[in-house]
């Protein structure tokens, strides 16, 4: 396990992933009933963008760095949908400079209501310790040093009947797309009504095409959301995808409003910014 998210936090892919996460969770919280959230690959929780790791790649400069000046200037329809994400980022940065960036655990913790519950899994021992210390005082958040793929088997189905699972593996292993498909399928068998958000990188078109086909074959109700910010010739990692199984019915139209505005701000190669929202039913 070489991957450390501290080098990448706050980049364009994090922004798109986290905006989708906040929209899906906000939807599940429309009713008072408790919601369970499982984050299978949680990372550090939140990130200092001035850290040595973050400065080494400066990826956040092209992500939250580009977006931050526009957070207050979005058109009303976009601002309303962006609010849960924007509020979480602002709450970490009261001085007005984007120094800290919330990872998925910090976003989930920010949005949780008293009746909600979350489990964050992180396999890297050091990162797990940081994450566990960060949420030690939160009674309804449990942090576990376990394999997220195993957690899909041991923690699902949850006693709460409403649940969201986010899968955000590092994509270090060659077979990560297949592991993801198998993990999603096994999880959905155990907890059929859960909403699943599975992130993937857009680097190699053949692998992504096979994954899209796999999602279509294995799930009855899924949404594929793919965004591109650069031309493949300018950056190997030029786009970001999210497969959403059992998506909230409002999500596609919300993302249709949000993503074009977001991509315009995050685009690196002029004209290469694009987003594609495809419902597989
Ligand atoms: C892409 S990062 C997660 C970022 C986080 N979801 C966020 O949005 O802030 C992937 C994380 O998964 C951890 N990891 C790798 N393999 C794992 C496994 N099998 N189970 C749980 N965590 C794992 C890595 O140490 C890394 O911190």
Residue 230: per-residue pLDDT: 87
Res 235: pLDDT: 78
Give the atom of ligand 1 at the shortest distance from the alpha carbon of 45: 9
Q: H or E stretch including 251? A: helix 251-266
Query: Ligand 1 in contact with 236 (CB < 6 A)?
Result: no
Of 19-33, 140-154, 206-220, 230-244, the poorest mean pLDDT is in: 230-244
- Whether the full predicted model's pTM is greater than 0.85, yes or no, is yes
| Substitution candidate for ligand 1 out of 170, 175, 176 with most atoms within 8 A of CB | 170
Residue 228 has pLDDT above 80, yes or no: yes
pLDDT at 2: 87
Closest by CA to 21, choosing from 247, 226, 260, 253, is 247
Mean pLDDT of 24-36: 98
- Contact 170 CB / ligand 1 (< 6 Å): yes
148 lines ligand 1 (CB under 6 A): yes
Segment 162-181, tens digit of pLDDT: 999 999 999 998 899 999 99
Residues forming beta bridges with residue 36, ordered by sequence position: 117, 163
Catalytic position from the list 62, 76, 168, 221: 168
Is the predicted pLDDT of residue 21 greater than 90, yes or no?
yes
What average pLDDT does the chain have?
Answer: 96
Find the 148 Cα to ligand 1 centroid distance in Å.
8
Question: pLDDT tens digit string along 53-83?
Answer: 999 999 999 999 999 999 999 999 999 999 9
Q: Is position 62 annotated as part of the catalytic site? A: no
Is residue 42 in contact with ligand 1, taking CB distance under 6 Å?
A: yes
Question: For 15-25, what is the mean pLDDT?
Answer: 98
Q: What's the rounded mean pLDDT across residues 184-207?
A: 96
> Taking a C-beta distance cutoff of 8 angstroms, is the pair 93, 99 a contact?
yes
pLDDT at 238 over 90: no
Three-state DSSP at 123 gives coil
State in Å: Cα 44 to ligand 1 middle.
Answer: 9
Distance CA 262, CA 22 (A): 15
Q: Which distant-in-sequence residues (6+ apart) come within 8 Å of 191 by Cβ?
A: 156, 157, 158, 163, 165
pLDDT band at residue 234 under the 50/70/90 scheme: confident
Domains of the chain plus CATH, in order, are: 5-280 (3.40.50.150)
Average pLDDT over residues 203-231: 95
Angle formed at CA 254 by CA 202 and CA 89, multiple of 5 degrees = 75
Please determine, for residue 1, whether its predicted confidence score (pLDDT) is greater than 80.
no
- Ligand 1 within 6 A of CB of 209: no
- Residues 77-119 pLDDT 10s: 999 999 999 999 999 999 989 999 999 999 999 999 999 999 9
Full strand arrangement of the beta sheet holding 274-280 = 141-144, 117-121, 35-39, 162-167, 195-202, 239-245, 222-228, 274-280
């Amino acid at each position: 396990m070489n991957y450390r998210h501290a080098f990448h936090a706050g980049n364009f892919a994090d922004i798109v992933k986290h905006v989708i996460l906040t929209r899906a969770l906000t939807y599940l919280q429309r009713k008072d009933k408790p919601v369970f959230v499982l984050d299978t690959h949680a990372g550090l929780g939140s990130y200092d963008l001035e850290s040595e790791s973050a400065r080494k790649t400066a990826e956040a400069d092209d992500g939250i760095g580009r977006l931050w000046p526009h957070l207050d200037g979005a058109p009303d329809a976009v601002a309303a949908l962006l609010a849960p994400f924007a509020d979480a980022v602002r709450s970490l940065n009261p001085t007005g400079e984007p120094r800290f960036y919330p990872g998925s655990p910090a976003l989930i913790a920010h949005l949780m209501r008293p009746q909600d519950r979350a489990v964050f899994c992180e396999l890297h021992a050091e990162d797990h310790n940081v994450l566990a210390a960060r949420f030690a005082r939160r009674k309804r958040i449990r942090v576990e040093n376990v394999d997220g793929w195993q957690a899909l088997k041991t923690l699902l189905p949850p006693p709460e009947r409403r649940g969201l699972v986010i899968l955000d593996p590092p994509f270090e292993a060659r077979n990560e797309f297949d592991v993801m498909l198998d993990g999603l399928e096994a999880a959905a068998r155990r907890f059929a009504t859960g909403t699943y958000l599975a992130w993937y990188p857009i680097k190699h078109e053949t692998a992504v095409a096979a994954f899209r086909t796999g999602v279509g074959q294995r799930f009855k109700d899924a949404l594929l959301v793919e965004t591109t910010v650069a031309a493949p010739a300018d950056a190997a990692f030029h786009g970001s995808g999210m497969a959403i199984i059992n998506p909230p019915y409002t999500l596609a139209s919300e993302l249709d409003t949000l993503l074009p505005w977001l991509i315009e701000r995050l685009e690196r190669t002029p004209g290469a910014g694009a987003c594609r929202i495809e419902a597989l039913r």
